[in-house]
Amino acid sequence: MNAPRLVWNPDNVRDVAESVGISSLNEEAVRALSQEVEYRVGQVIVEAMRFMHQGKRTVLGTQDISQALRVLDVEPLYGYESTRPLRFGEASLGPGQPLFYVEDEEIDFEKLINAPLPKVPRDMSFTAHWLAVEGVQPSIPQNPTTAEARATELVPKGPGANPTLAALAGNDNVAFKPLVKHVVSKELIFFFDKIRNALLDTDTDPEVVMLRESSLESVRSDPGLHQLVPYFVNFVAEKVTHNLKDTFVLRQMMELTAAMMANKSLFIDPYVAALAPPVLTCIIGRRLGPDGIDNLKEQYQLRDLAASIMGRMAGKFSTSSLSLQPRLARTFLKAFLDPGRGAGEHYGAILGLAAVAGPEGVRTLMLPNIKPYEYVILKAYNERGPADEGVSMIIAALIKAITNMAEDTEMMAKVVDEGRDGDDTVALEAYLGTVIGSRIARYGNRKLNKLILDSREKQ
């Protein structure tokens, strides 16, 4: 019986064996290895054709072979990937021994040397900027201006559009201009200058004070000031940034912000992202107003005013800016838990968190962190004494934030007073710390104590 004819040339097996140091192989081993190679090659081709059919192609490519080798857990070949078809040349080593090779592209060195040098590529750089904040595009150099956006709209579009039609018509240096230009009337400019001068006038004369109050009332109630909103917002941001040492200017800017928010005819929702940072600075800024103990009262009053404004801002714009309230609460909580901040910053953070998050935020965010915060109070006691005004203001702010929960009728309605006897001082001190817990216990509000202790159980 004749042995089956081999498709794979046995001489290739012998050549490989000699290359690895095996000088002699019997015919039986050569035939067995040739059959094994045929089977493995056929297996690779079958798997590669599956990838070809899955890719809806009719030509088997090198990528299909590589994927087939990976599926069969064989190390794939490298160096044969190409976007262009390979050109094979044939050489002869003797009679009946052709050798195939990949033809290299011939390059003319004279053309290569005389060719102009390519342009030096620009250094790669990355930068980040806000494309839009709450749906409003900020006016920064990276974003196109209104005029540029309008000019882009006027450019011919479509596959058949010709952007050089204007030049072909003989109009060189054509520039597109917006159809509508924002123009502020002279009366509004005059009004803005008067408001600005009146607010920044530090004279204590009664007429000047009355003019200042009248200016704020005008901003609070006049209906035709919508075109001046961006100018007011920019004015507030600029003055707060450059006058952190002037308590009077900071307070006037907060009054102006409150007046704009109180005007029902002004639509300031798109400007909340620019209006919130100055108010936030006046709440938890490190240094506000001139240095000295005599100016502490004005600084704390400024923080009180700014915190109340921030609370109204978070409540009024929570629907148009969904992330405003959570971001502000997170910022105040971070400042409250930072032991490296000063007494004024902690005081502003407590007021801001209570104003933005409300009684529910005080219950869930502030109460669990009061006892660890007692370390800051005791440290201030040891360094400056219990009579220090900063420590007293912080304790008063914490007490006010906690006791204000008793004024929330909806929250207090959920508290069930079991009418039990006993003193809650020990439990309150264990949860809130000795300094705050003992003072809350002195109020004797059993429902408030029950609400505080119930929140401990829900943590």
Long-range Cβ contacts of 180-186 (<8 Å, 24+ apart): 182/227, 184/227, 184/228, 184/231
The SS3 call for residue 101 is: strand
Considering 22-31, 65-74, 172-181, the range whose residues carry the highest mean pLDDT is 65-74
Query: Is the pLDDT reported for residue 3 higher than 80?
Result: no
Q: Which CATH superfamily is domain 1-80 in?
A: Histone, subunit A (1.10.20.10)
Instruction: Give 300's contacts (C-beta < 8 A, 6+ positions apart).
Output: 344, 347, 393
Structure tokens given for 133? 């904040």
Structure tokens given for 236? 């507030």
Mean pLDDT of the chain: 81
Q: Which CATH superfamily is domain 186-403 in?
A: TAF6, C-terminal HEAT repeat domain (1.25.40.770)
Measured at the CA of 217, the angle between CA 216 and CA 219, to 5 degrees, comes to: 65
Place 307 in a pLDDT band, splitting at 50, 70 and 90: very high
Q: Report the pLDDT value the prediction gives residue 93, as an integer from 0 to 100.
A: 67
Place 24 in a pLDDT band, splitting at 50, 70 and 90: confident
The whole model's pTM is what?
0.59
Place 145 in a pLDDT band, splitting at 50, 70 and 90: low
Q: How far apart are the first and last CA of the chain?
A: 87
Helix (H) or strand (E) holding 437: helix 434-443
Give 213-260 as a DSSP string.
HHHHHHHHH-SS-GGGHHHHHHHHHHHHHH-TT-HHHHHHHHHHHHHH
Which range, of 21-25, 59-63, 168-172, 346-350, averages the lowest pLDDT? Answer: 168-172
Task: Map tokens 């060189």 to a residue.
Answer: 172
Residue 145, phi-psi category: left (phi > 0), alpha (psi -120 to 50), beta (remainder): beta
Name the nearest CA neighbour of 236 among 223, 249, 220: 249
Name the nearest CA neighbour of 432 among 351, 372, 392: 372
Question: 423-447 pLDDT, tens per residue?
Answer: 678 888 888 888 888 888 888 778 8
Q: What CA–CA distance (Å, rounded) separates 193 from 90?
A: 89
**Domain parsing of the chain, residue ranges:** 1-80, 186-403
Place 171 in a pLDDT band, splitting at 50, 70 and 90: very low
Considering 139-148, 186-195, 284-293, the range whose residues carry the highest mean pLDDT is 186-195
Q: Report the pLDDT value the prediction gives residue 423, as an integer from 0 to 100.
A: 67
Q: Report the pLDDT value the prediction gives residue 165, as an integer from 0 to 100.
A: 47
